Amino acid sequence: MQGGTRRVGTMTDVHRRFLQLLMTHGVLEEGDVKRLQKHCYKVHDCNAPVEKLEDFINNINSVLESLYIEIKKGVTEDDGRPIYALVNLATTPISKMASDFAENELDLFRKALELIIDSETGFASSTNILNLVDQLKGKKMRKKEAEHVLQKFVQNKWLIEKEGDFTLHSRAILEMEQYIRETHPEAMKICNICHSLLIQGQSCDTCGIRMHLPCVAKYFQASSEPRCPNCNDYWPHEIPEVFDPEKHREAAISRPSKKPSRSRQH
Amino acid sequence: MLQKPRGRGRPSGQSEREKDWGRGGDCRAARGGVAEEAPSTSRGVGGSSQGARRAEASPAVGPRSQQQLELKVAELVQFLLIKDQKKIPIKRSDILKHVIGDYRDIFPNLLKLAAERLEYVFGYKLVELEPKSNSYILINSLEPVEEDAELRGDQGTPTTGLLMIVLGLIFMKGNTIKETEVWDFLRRLGVFPAKKHLIFGDPKKLITEDFVRQRYLEYRPIPHTDPVDYEFQWGPRTNLETSKMKVLKFVAKVHKQDPKDWPAQYCEALADEEARARPQTVGAAPSVGTAEGRRGKGTG
Ligand SMILES: [Zn+2]
Ligand SMILES: [Zn+2]
């Protein structure tokens, strides 16, 4: 991978502005990334044709490689929307969070992360998380404060909340997969299809293998009678639909526009 | 892809081991007793449980491979990027403690290389806040454009607006202003020191603490005042990130007037522009980067 095998690309101000803006967001959906790319071309170089997003990002990644940074593409675990995040590989994700959070807050995140990974569903209830506040390192935290801190994790796109339960944001999954593999090798779950970290998904009642929802959708897309890829037993869950960017775009237009979430204090 | 940092960080590849990367043998010679004084806490600010991976990257005393040095520069770049998000100047001692560890002997080289990468890859210039201050900030080499703010979707912009108002006020009043005057002015805009503001949160804290810690503003008590009053001036970061002319143009835009409508300020701003244009002026940004670092910086 090193040296001559891969051509290192060239950076221009278009790429630099793109990186700066991507960094302030932390994570973006594909549509927004394309909008961002177009914006950067417009600011610096109106005449050049907009490069295909994949090539544009590959070019940047070839330069980022020596800095152990990467723009990673992933999909959301629930409905398979493609997303992009700038991931640091030389710094642990927790130390990346350390500029925004105090020591006891980071420890709360570690505890929540542990509960989420250990859980069957990929969700940890707020009650279970809040019950751990007495064990936190650093300054003492009250439950009321802890609730507030959990909301801050949601705002900064590290956690997602669904009806009082918390799971990892796809951004956190992209950034933390390596870290989780190292710190929770036994507890973590792997998808049988794509072999990456799985937090929420479906599992086979017979043999216990797990699959991401988007992976389930793709794998069973054409089959009328879904069977487990491992034990061939009947797959007992509802098969979700494959993510369709066209459909998503229509839905986004008809939906009232959402305010951009405020993620980072400057 | 993900496995790489570990493998590369280890001093295992014997074939490429001897490629020294700091300037020849000089810096090695200086290493002698430095190593033990700073135990490498490369794991950064993160805490305990995740230290294992990074501990591997810190070598015992011995020749450092190109990979180890590359990883060190990468850590330094990432550390600077992360720290800059808070806009608080990054102290040299923190860099040494959290990233450099027992690479102290080649710190200037590492910093220079990190500065080159930051400028070439991200368009951020690493500069020392004031000469000999031993603290650093990142300055954006790219001109801000209005749509950036929209796409950014963060809180940077509204507070920046308030900051520009205060900076403008200071400049228009002859570069020093009493705190009471600032609040008199802001009250007219509906911003009160003791009242929580919808956008700015706690304006008193933002202006007298946050902007001061970020070194946009200097804030000090005026001698012989009772009760004590404070005064504001521009901080060193302001001179690096913006200029008198830019601030004057901002003020003029707010008033829908021309900068030349304030002749005294306009002359002062013009003189400031000229001073900036002269190379090696005292007070100009003492860039840590080198000419090489600017290599790729043309418009694309
Ligand atoms: Zn999968
Ligand atoms: Zn099965």
CATH number of the domain at B243, please: 1.10.10.1210
Q: Which of A15, A17, A19 to mutate to test the interface with B (most CBs of B within 10 A)?
A: A17
B180 interfacial to chain A (CB closer than 8 Å): no
Let me know whether B135 and B193 are in one domain. Answer: no
DSSP string, chain A: --GGGS------HHHHHHHHHHHHHSEEEHHHHHHHHHHHHHHH-SSSPPPPHHHHHHHHHHHHGGGTEEEEEEE-TTT--EEEEEEESSS-HHHHHTTTS-HHHHHHHHHHHHHHHHSSSS-EEHHHHHTTGGG-SSS---HHHHHHHHHHHHHTTSEEEETTEEEE-HHHHHHHHHHHHHH-TTT-EEBTTT-SEESS-EE-TTT--EE-HHHHHHHTTT-SS-B-TTT--B--SPPPPPP-HHHHHHHHHHSPPPPPP-----
Is B1 within the bounds of a domain? Answer: no
Rounded to a whole number of angstroms, the CA Rg of chain B reads 23
pLDDT at position B51 over 90: no
Same domain, B159 and B287: yes
CA max distance for chain B:
72
Please judge whether B142 and A16 are an interchain contact, meaning their C-beta atoms are less than 8 angstroms apart.
yes
Do the domain assignments include residue B32?
no
Contact yes or no for A67 and B78 at CB 8 A: yes
Of B117, B140, B163, the last residue of a domain is: B140
Q: Is B31 a member of any domain?
A: no
Residue of A nearest to B88 (CA): A266
Q: Which residues pair with B218 in a beta bridge?
A: B233
Given a cut of 80, whether residue B157 has pLDDT beyond it is: no
Residues of chain B with Cβ-Cβ distance to A19 below 8 Å are: 121-123
- For residue A12, which residues of chain B lie inside 8 Å, CB to CB? 296, 298-300
B71–A68: do the CB atoms touch at under 8 Å?
yes
Express each pLDDT in A158-213 by its tens digit: 999 999 999 999 999 999 998 999 999 999 999 999 999 999 999 999 999 999 99
Please judge whether A95 and B43 are an interchain contact, meaning their C-beta atoms are less than 8 angstroms apart. yes
Say what the pLDDT of residue B64 is.
Answer: 84
B12 lies in a domain?
no
Of all ligands present, the nearest one to the C-alpha of A227 is: 2
Q: Spell out, as residue ranges, where chain A has pLDDT lower than 70.
A: 1-6, 248-266
pLDDT of B272 reads 93
Structural domain of B46: 40-140
Q: Which residues of A touch B124 (CB under 8 A)?
A: 20
Nearest ligand by distance to the CA of A226: 2
The alpha-carbon gap from A89 to the nearest alpha carbon of chain B, in Å, equals 7
Out of A20, A36, A90, the one facing B142 most closely (by C-beta) is A20
Per-residue model confidence (pLDDT) at position A119: 94
CATH code of the domain covering residue B124: 1.10.10.1200
**Does residue B218 share a domain with residue B128?**
no
Flag whether B279 is in a domain.
yes
Q: What is the model's pLDDT at position A150?
A: 96
B162 and B95 part of one domain? no
Do B47 and B114 share a domain, yes or no? yes
pLDDT at B153 (0 to 100): 47
Q: Does a structural domain hold residue B16?
A: no
- ipTM score over 0.90, yes or no: no
* Residue A161 CB coordination number (10 Å): 15
- Is B33 a domain residue? no
Where residue B290 falls among pLDDT bands split at 50, 70, 90?
very low
Q: Which of residues B253 and B233 earns the better pLDDT score?
A: B233
Q: Which residue has the higher pLDDT, B111 or B60?
A: B111
Of A2, A15, A90, the CB nearest to B75: A90
Task: Provide the shortest C-alpha distance from residue A196 to chain B (in Å).
Answer: 11
Q: Are residues B278 and B151 in the same domain?
A: yes
The ligand that comes nearest to the alpha carbon of residue A237 is 2
pLDDT digits (tens, 9 = 90+) for B193-219: 888 887 777 889 999 998 999 899 999
pLDDT of residue B13: 34
pLDDT value, residue B282: 44
Instruction: Output the CA A227–ligand 2 centroid distance in Å.
Output: 8
Residue A149 and residue A145: Cα distance in Å, rounded?
6
Determine whether the interchain pair B148/A179 forms a contact, defined as Cβ–Cβ distance below 8 Å: no
CA B287 from centre of chain: 11
Cα(A75) to ligand 1 centroid in Å equals: 10
Residues of A in contact with B77 (CB under 8 A): 67, 69
Asked, for residue B160, whether it belongs to a domain, the answer is: yes
Do B295 and B278 share a structural domain? yes
Residues B199 and B281 in one domain: yes
- If asked whether residues B291 and B153 sit together in one domain, one would say yes
Q: Which of B140, B163, B183 is the last residue of a domain?
A: B140
Question: What pTM value is reported for the model?
Answer: 0.73
**Three-state DSSP class for residue B99:** helix
Considering its fold, how many domains does chain B have in total? 2
Which of B125, B140, B155 is a domain's end point? B140
Domain match, B294 and B167 both: yes
Sheet holding A165-168, edge to edge: A124-125, A165-168, A159-162
Dihedral sign of CA atoms A41, A43, A45, A48 in order: positive
B80 with B159, same domain: the answer is no
Do B46 and A66 lie within an 8 Å CB cutoff?
Answer: no
Residue B160 and residue A64: Cβ atoms within 8 Å?
no
pLDDT, tens digit, 9 for 90 and up, residues B69-97: 999 999 999 999 988 887 889 999 999 98
Look at chain A and count its residues: 266
B151 and B121 in a common domain: no
Min Cα separation A137/chain B (Å)? 10
Judge: A266–B87 Cβ closer than 8 Å, yes or no. Answer: yes
- In 3D space, the residue among B44, B50, B78 whose CA is nearest the CA of residue A95 turns out to be B44
Looking at all shown ligands, the one closest to residue A200's CA atom is 1
Closest approach of chain B CAs to the CA of A206, in angstroms? 32
C-beta atoms of B300 and A14 within 8 A:
yes
